[in-house]
Amino acid sequence: MKLSNKPRRRENCEEQEEDGKLVFTMATTRRLGKELEDIRNTGIKNFRNIIVDETNILYWQGLIVPDNPPYDKGAFRIEIVFPAEYPFKPPKITFKTRIYHPNIDDKGQVCLSIISPENWKPATRTFQVIQCLIALVNTPEPEHPLRTDLAEEYTKDRAKFMKNAEEFTRKYSEKRPID
């Protein structure tokens, strides 16, 4: 039996490398394209101005537009980065706009259980992830903090937390889109 020196093509991999560029499988591209189309057609009231680089569907941006005080006077840009292994690995969400929130740290990382590796299910859709993120922004979960100082303030002195978060929102958030 003769062995070939040619690299074998990986048929079921989520990514291939061609000329130093990452190429994603059609299944990943097709799924994300369908999810993006569904989100744009259905619309999510609190997720606006969706920007997707059509040459790299793994990278999305949008604005979270919360309903509840203290965040209801601003909008917050987020970035969603899908791994090449999506939907078998969860997307990563980062807040690009600063926010005074116990579940979002100074780097914009968010503590969202639906996208944690131990809770992630490949059947979960981006629509569901965004809805959970909006719910978390509107209703912080101090029992799962990334910022313990803010969780403590939220729990022990809600009025102070609300005042600080409102001021922070006024200072750092983006302008809300007009309907």
Q: Which residues are designated catalytic?
A: 111
CB 90 within 8 A of CB 80: no
23 forms beta bridges with: 16
AA identity, residue 153? E
Residue ranges of the alpha helices (H) in the chain? Answer: 26-42, 126-138, 148-156, 158-172
Q: In residues, how long is the chain?
A: 179
Crossing angle of helices 158-172 and 148-156, in 10° steps, is: 130
159: left (phi over 0), alpha (psi -120 to 50) or beta: alpha
